[in-house]
Amino acid sequence: MKVTLAIQRFNPETDSEPHVQNYQVEVEPTHRVLDALMDITQNQDGTLGYRRSCAHGVCGSDAMRINGREKLACKTLFKDLEIEEGGTLEIEPLRHLDVQKDLMVDQSTFFKKFRSVKPYFVPKAAEPEHGEFIQSPEERALFDEATKCINCAACYSACPVLDKNPNFVGPQAIVAAARFVNDSRDQGLEARLDALDQKDGVWPCESHFECTRVCPRDIKITKLINLTKRQIKKYRDARGEQTAEERAQ
Amino acid sequence: MIHEFDAVIVGAGGAGLYAALEASKTAKTAVVSKLYPQRSHTGAAQGGIGAALGNVEEDTPEWHAFDTVKGGDYLVDQNAAKILAEDAVRAVYDLENRGLPFSRLEDGKIAQRRFGGHTHHFGEGAVHRSCYAADRTGHMILQTLYQQCVKNDVQFFDEYQVVDLLLEGTTVKGIVTFELKTGELHIFKAKAVLFATGGFGRMFKITSNAHANTGDGPAILARAGIPLEDMEFFQFHPTGIRGMGILITEGVRGEGGILKNRDGERFMERYAPTLLDLAPRDMVSRAIMTEVGEGKGVRGDRKIDDYVWLDASHLGREVVEKKIPDIADFCRTYLGVDPAEEPMPVQPTAHYAMGGIPTDVDGRVDTGKQVYDGLYAAGEAACVSVHGANRLGTNSLVDLVVFGRRAGMHIAEYVKSASHGSVTEADADRARQRIDALRHRKGGRHVGPIMHRMQEVMMEKVGVYRTQEKMDQAVEEIRQLREDFKEVAVQDTGAGFNSEVLQIMELENLLDLSLITAASAANRTESRGAHAREDFPDRDDPNWLKHTMAGLDNDRVTIDFKPVDVSIWEPKPRKY
């Protein structure tokens, strides 16, 4: 069927404002939105800018806003968009990150926040001389959800809190921290308390659940954020200390 | 601009990141990647990493090495396979100790599952050797290694595409890169350069590979006069999602999934009576194509895009959701099929390059006649060779962590005594002229039609089953496409974030590697591993137990050979 992709375009080298450009493409219901974008750049207009790699939802390169919702272009099929012959699909870059060109956004702030939570293993015990740390399947299950993250930034774009507080560390960074906080082999919360228990850490989250709704990996992000909040509270309570949120009140 | 480092690692997948972690212990190291880190295709590997931990049942590295040699149809260098299997155990423990979240057994040890071609007691039966994290093992390896690079403050240059190699005689002195953000060329002056640029499955129409898998490293080295090894051996994974090629892990069969033809028959019983569905990939792919050719595919029209069923529904929902959750997600998303309820439609998909840049067991580029000082390769871009004519499942992840680490360690030592070559801005001239030429051609062709035709030609004529006639046609057609390519022009005249320039250079790399692959294949008049010829159906050890070394000389491919190390196990017929 023939559909129109209405793509928001912006080239900072030449444009003062973003504008929308329409492209006609022939697609099958089982085609991915990425297939249509590639058809445009390979056969119609080589100037359109976007990122892509794996094309099946595991590398996190092609998150964008499709009809106003954050999605991976390679994991979104036309048949799932309720679009009909002659219909139009609106495509925009992610929010909360500066546009570099068309659908490409500058991810440096996003990755800086990711790095701020110590998103790496800080072992509790000395490494075993030979062999492995032991971890039960139940302990392993406690952080499984968070290991699925592919850093695509869909949640970061969807988060309403970032509209008013651009300094909020954001949903993805908290997921990255939770991956280690809940790993029985890791020093956990203690190693990441400074980054999480501060005014722009976990506390600005208002549980809008937008991150959870858009996550292409089906991670229950809001739940993880609230769990982290409770863990911080418990940690502080046990020491007779206040959380950053309590101190601010 | 000229940057100076002791070591430059090109590519930020598993091999590159592991090498960077090791090299940066002594060497000032930069990782240069055309993608953001964590986007690399290591992240798409699913089923596991093979290592004889023996957590479930008795296992030894010797059995693993033997399986690797036999799986590779004896084109594997046997001492390299021994190193692979022995180092695999240490590498898996090292990854676990760095935080990798493996799935666990009840006793808390790393979980292991069965995988194709992995056996106990030299082929007696399938063994639990694949260490896994659900069906996201590659994702976890990529994440863990990147996390460790963050922890150790490794320096990254993201979205820099490598475009040229700088050599002084046979000693490396640096690389030239194209910065996506500005369109400018940056020279990295270095004592050591490692190419870990991954595979090049995008030369085929149906592939499990990422769009980024365009063989940039091997193509650049081939154009620099370095021959590539065993390029005719390209693995078709038996179970790609029909029409799309998206990988469905062998782990599905490792957990008990079964292949069936249109009659519901478990056809692998006829092809591999002992290992059945867990026979090596080349054999299973051929079995599928044979069924299809006999009209037993699901459609039954005998066309090469017909398919068969992979059935996991008898495993039950709990196993499906726990052991292969991403597969279930892919099937629901792309096929509207729930694998806990119905079988999955699958067809062979171009998956892995056994061949590539020839290296020794420390990652040094070594053609057998010439060692290139300071030049290294690791991972899928390289050919050690530990995969020979057919790679076993899980051994790609083993390869990249074992040889990525070994190359990194060698670099860390090498740079201590090596000196820098002399590099000036003029060294970027060759690359600059190439890119300027693309920008100034007027009214030229788009990349799309050439890319698609190349992918069709390679799929139809250099696919699972091959004949002289078809491969010769492929060589000629690819030659013609390389001529057509000279008329491709850039439409995007902007400097910043010009991904069109990148795509055109990627197509050029694929065309060069397609030519080498087709010519290497047309030259080998036997069947071995993934190179299966209808006109030469048998393995021919007296004449062909040797590695192909294929050089690129403009539009000609020159063929030479290198001996295979068969010092441990005598080649035998391959039965499962």
Give the pLDDT of residue A116: 97
Contacts of B367 (CB under 8 A, 6+ apart): B226, B227, B358, B549, B562
Is this prediction's ipTM beyond 0.90? yes
Count Cβ–Cβ pairs < 8 Å, chain A vs chain B.
160
How much is the pLDDT for B30? 98
pLDDT mean over B31-56: 95
Euclidean distance between CA atoms B175 and B193, whole angstroms = 8
pLDDT of residue A130: 83
A186 touches chain B (CB under 8 A): yes
Query: What is the tens place of the pLDDT at every residue in B252-281?
Result: 999 999 999 999 999 999 999 999 999 999
**B496–A50 CB contact, under 8 Å:** no
* Sign of the Cα pseudo-torsion (B392, B396, B401, B405, in order): positive
With b meaning 16 or more CB within 10 Å and e meaning fewer, what string describes B52-75? bbbbbeebbbebbbbbbbbbbbbb
pLDDT band at residue B158 under the 50/70/90 scheme: very high
Please classify residue B470 by burial: count the beta carbons closer than 10 Å to its beta carbon, then call 0-12 exposed, 13-18 middle and 19+ buried. buried
Helix A171-181 with A221-238: angle, nearest 10 deg: 60
Encode B315-352 in three state secondary structure.
Answer: HCHHHHHHHCHHHHHHHHHHHCCCCCCCCEEEEEEEEE
Residue of B nearest to A104 (CA): B497
The closest CB to that of B35, out of A53, A77, A137, belongs to A53
Distance from C-alpha of B114 to C-alpha of B275, rounded to nearest angstrom: 11
On the 0-12 / 13-18 / 19+ scale of CB atoms within 10 A, B105 is middle
Going from the C-alpha of B528 to that of each of A34, A242, B73, B75, B524, the distances in angstroms are 37, 69, 6, 8, 9
- pLDDT at residue B444 in the model: 79
Whole-number mean pLDDT of chain A? 97
Residue A92 token pair = 């925009």
Distance from C-alpha of B304 to C-alpha of B299, rounded to nearest angstrom: 11
| pLDDT on residue B445 | 86
Does residue B161 contact residue B187 with C-beta atoms inside 8 Å?
Answer: no
Q: CB within 8 A of B59, min separation 6: which ones?
A: B52, B53, B120, B127, B128, B129
Q: Are B534 and B461 in contact (CB under 8 A)?
A: no
DSSP label at residue B150: H
CB under 8 A, 24+ apart: contacts of B427-435: B427/B166, B427/B174, B427/B176, B427/B187, B428/B164, B428/B176, B428/B185, B428/B187, B430/B164, B430/B176, B431/B163, B431/B164, B431/B176, B431/B178, B431/B185, B432/B185, B434/B163, B434/B505, B435/B163, B435/B178, B435/B185, B435/B501, B435/B505
Q: What pLDDT sits at residue B5?
A: 98
DSSP 8-state symbol, A43: I
| Token couple for A218 | 């089906």
**Residue B297 phi/psi, 5° resolution?**
-70, 170
Q: What is the pLDDT of residue B113?
A: 96
pLDDT (mean) for B140-158: 96
How far is the C-alpha of B471 from the C-alpha of B477, rounded, in Å?
A: 10
pLDDT tens digits along A155-196: 999 999 999 999 999 999 999 999 999 999 999 999 999 999
Helix (H, G, I), strand (E, B) or coil at B149: helix
Q: Do A14 and B98 touch (CB under 8 A)?
A: no
Q: Quick check: A125 contacting B, CB < 8 Å? A: no
CA-CA distance, B554 to B322, in Å (whole number)?
Answer: 51
* Distance (Å) from the alpha carbon of A150 to chain B's nearest alpha carbon: 8
State whether residue A121 sits within 8 Å of chain B by CB: yes
pLDDT per residue as tens digits for the range A61-117:
999 999 999 999 999 999 999 899 999 999 999 999 999 999 999 999 999 999 999
Is a pLDDT exceeding 80 seen at residue B63?
A: yes
Q: Which helix (H) or strand (E) holds A64?
A: strand A63-66
The pLDDT value recorded for residue A249 is 87
Q: Does residue A41 register a pLDDT over 90? A: yes
Mean pLDDT, range B203-207, rounded to an integer: 98
SS3 per-residue string spanning B15-31: HHHHHHHHHCCCCCEEE
Residue bearing the bigger pLDDT, B443 or B502? B502
| Residue of chain B nearest A51, judged by CA positions | B499
Is residue B37 very low, low, confident or very high in pLDDT (cuts 50, 70, 90)? confident
Distance CA A202, CA B231 (A): 51
Residue from the list A118, A130, A151 with its beta carbon closest to the beta carbon of B38: A151
Q: Mutate which of A121, A181, A219 to disrupt the B interface (most B C-beta within 10 Å)?
A: A121
pLDDT at B470 over 80: yes
The verdict on a CB contact (< 8 Å) between A54 and B211 is yes
Nearest to B44 by CA among B198, B232, B155: B198
> What pLDDT shows up at residue B443?
64
Q: Which of A58, A180, A218 sits opposite B44 (nearest CB)?
A: A58
Which residues of chain A make contact with B136, given a CB cutoff of 8 A?
147-148
Q: Does A180 touch chain B (CB under 8 A)?
A: yes
Q: Is the previous residue joined to B385 through a cis bond, with omega within 30 degrees of 0?
A: yes
- Average model confidence (pLDDT) across chain B: 96
Measured between alpha carbons, how far is B100 from A121 in angstroms, rounded to an integer?
8
Pick the residue from chain B with its C-alpha nearest to A106: B181
pLDDT at B134: 94
pLDDT above 90 (res B493) = no
Is pLDDT larger for residue B177 or for residue B47?
B177
Q: Residue A64's Cα: distance from chain center in Å?
A: 11
Q: Which residues make beta-bridge pairs with B268?
A: none
Instruction: Select the residue of A115, A131, A140 nearest B103 (Cβ to Cβ).
Output: A140
Could you give all domains of chain A from N- to C-terminal order, each with its CATH number?
2-105 (3.10.20.30), 108-248 (1.10.1060.10)
What span, in angstroms and rounded, lies between the C-alpha atoms of B71 and B350?
18
Over the stretch B505-541, which tens digit does the pLDDT of each residue have? Answer: 999 999 999 999 999 999 999 999 999 999 999 999 9
pLDDT band at B51 (very low <50, low <70, confident <90, very high): very high
Which residues have CB under 8 Å from A27's CB, separation 6+? A1, A2, A3, A35, A36, A78
**Residues of B noted as catalytic:** 281
Confidence band, pLDDT 50/70/90 cuts, at residue B101:
very high
Q: Which amino acid is at A148?
A: K
Q: 205-224 in A: which are within 8 Å (CB) of B?
A: 218
Query: Can you state the percent helix, strand and coil of chain A, rounding each to 5?
Result: 35, 15, 45
Assess whether pLDDT exceeds 90 at residue A119. Answer: yes
**Angle at B251 (CA atoms; ends B250, B257), nearest 5 degrees:** 85
Could you tell me the two tokens for A186? 């890791």
In angstroms, the separation between the Cα of residue A249 and the nearest Cα of chain B is 35
Euclidean distance between CA atoms B426 and B431, whole angstroms: 10
| pLDDT surpasses 90 at B102 | yes
CB contact under 8 A, B499 and A49: yes
pTM across the whole model: 0.97
